[in-house]
Amino acid sequence: MSDNINKPGDTPDPRAERDRIRLQCIGSFKAYTQDGEAYTIEIWTHFAAVHDRDRARVEPSLLVLTTTHGDGVDRLDQGEYRLTDNPEILLSTDDPNAP
């Protein structure tokens, strides 16, 4: 039985963590550094049941941004981002589908 917990010295597997909490990739977009280096940012979400008096439905309840290499991405503003573990790396995009 695996509990998906890393042992000391193990490298964390970001894809395994997303699978564990049942995140689904709902899209991606390109973002660029000031030097023109391109990163593909993936948009991951967890869908949760939402109930109200009229009906029950499923809606996105969590939004997670990562690079295709599994690096965390922080959203600063519409079209502006930074790498979580390297906050000096700023990214921007004019993609209208970017959150």
DSSP 46-66: EEEEEE-SS-EEEEEEEEEEE
d(C-alpha 77, C-alpha 96), whole Å: 13
> Which has the higher per-residue pLDDT, 3 or 47?
47
Percentage of residues in the chain having pLDDT higher than 70 = 66
pLDDT value at position 49?
A: 59
Burial 63-88 (b: 16+ CB within 10 A, else e): ebbbbeeebebeeeeebebbbeeeee
pTM metric for this prediction = 0.67
Q: Residue 54's pLDDT is what?
A: 76
Helical (H) or strand (E) element with 16: helix 14-20
Q: Count H helices, E strands: the chain?
A: 1, 6
Confidence (pLDDT) at 53: 75
Nearest in space to 78 (alpha carbons), one of 61, 65, 59, 60: 65
**Residue whose structure tokens are 């439905």:** 57
At 45, the pLDDT band (50, 70, 90 cuts) reads: confident
